[in-house]
A = this chain, B = another copy of it.
Amino acid sequence: MDKIEIRFGQRVKEIRLKQNISQEELAFRCGLSKNYISDVERGTRNISLKSIEKIAEGFVINIKDLFEFK
């Protein structure tokens, strides 16, 4: 199984594409930088709980939905 950062990043990208928004738009909604979102999606960030919450809020979903891995 892939590392958790990779699986999480893939899930973020999947939801973002489903919502049809850019990394820039997601970053704006979350109050995070576009580079940070890019790093998260590529699985190169060990993201913190607070930032996980920001991403869920940016998507307007529950945090647990970010962990609905395939």
Given contacts A64-B64, A67-B62, contact A49 B47 (CB under 8 A): yes
Residues of B near A53 (CB, < 8 A) are: 4
User: How many residues in A have their beta carbons less than 8 Å from beta carbons of B?
Assistant: 16
Residues of B near A5 (CB, < 8 A) are: 49-50
State the CA gap A25–B27 with chains docked (Å): 39
Given contacts A63-B67, A68-B64, contact A46 B46 (CB under 8 A): no
State the CA gap A4–B67 with chains docked (Å): 16
Distance in Å: Cβ of A67 to nearest Cβ of chain B: 4
Given contacts A64-B68, A67-B62, contact A49 B46 (CB under 8 A): yes
Contact with B along A33-70 (1 / 0, CB 8 A): 00000000000001111101100000000111101100
